[in-house]
Structure 1
Amino acid sequence: MLTIATAASLAHVLRAGCDPGLSSILKRYQPLMAEEQLAVLYVLQPGDRRQDLEAARGCPFEQWEFIVADGGWYEAVFVLDDYGHGHVVLIPDSTECDPELLAICRGHAVPHG
């Protein structure tokens, strides 16, 4: 699992190169992370499981604000407090990902746009 918590780490991931669908989503977060550290992004990798995600985030994968399907990825957004701090979980729509997480995303996602 890739954890992106700062504007510098986000810029590094984009410079290093990644899946075009993921890159498109990450670029949307650049201005927000440059201004203020409001979100931590979690990018699931092949083999990552729901338990791994929940351990990294320190909370269960429930009570999301919304889940968006975009470019072969699911973007699940969790708002943690009244100040707008949150987590963004990015899950590739791939058979290599946790089937339980994919089922949740497929059942609740709306298309981007």
Structure 2
Amino acid sequence: MISLYDAATMKAALLLPLDPALRRLLSDRIQDAIACGLEGLTYIIVVEPGDGEADFIREGAFSPFWNPLSETRYSDPAHIPPWDWAERLDGWGWEFIRTVGNDGFAFIVLVPDSEGGDPRLRAMCRELIPCG
């Protein structure tokens, strides 16, 4: 899991050997956060192969499979995703945003649609954020 929680980690991430599509996505999100003065209120998480629910809890203190407001898990038919906005990123994967509090703080989560990723997370993304 790549965690970018301030301007320094965001800028350093762009120096990593990243997939070109991911580099473009991160560059766009980072430029937007800085342009809006929200780099201190934006936490970007990039899911990598092998990352699972425990990694989300360790890095962001939340699970994408649990909604504390509806008190439902992804396996529950009445589950409501815990994010505020989501989009299918053609040719790469998914992006979802989860806001926290009223000051503008948000997690931006990028989930690649690639082998080695958490199959449950990918299945949930496919189900809840379909293509097109």
What is the TM-score normalised by the length of structure 1?
Answer: 0.85
TM-aligned CA deviation for residue 110 of structure 1: 5.8
Equivalent residue for 2:62, pick from 59, 71, 75 = 59
Q: State the alpha-carbon separation in 1 of the partners of residues 88 and 23 from structure 2.
A: 14
Q: Does 1:76 align with 2:96?
A: yes
User: Relative CO higher for 1 or 2, CA cutoff 8 Å, sep ≥ 6?
Assistant: 1
Aligned residue-pair number: 112
The match for 2:76 is none
Identity of aligned residues (%): 26
Q: How does 1:18-97 map to 2 (within 5 A)?
A: 18-34=18-34, 35-36=37-38, 37-61=40-64, 62-70=81-89, 71-97=91-117
TM-aligned CA deviation for residue 15 of structure 1: 2.2
**Superposed CA RMSD:** 1.9
Deviation digits for residues 65-97 of structure 1, max 9, x if unmatched? 122121312111101112220111111101211
* Uncovered stretches (5+) of structure 2, i.e. residues with no partner: 65-80
> Structure 1: which 4+ aligned runs deviate by more than 6 Å?
none
- Higher share of residues assigned helix: 1
TM-aligned CA deviation for residue 101 of structure 1: 0.7
Give 1 or 2 for the bigger CA radius of gyration: 2
Q: State the alpha-carbon separation in 2 of the partners of residues 39 and 28 from structure 1.
A: 13
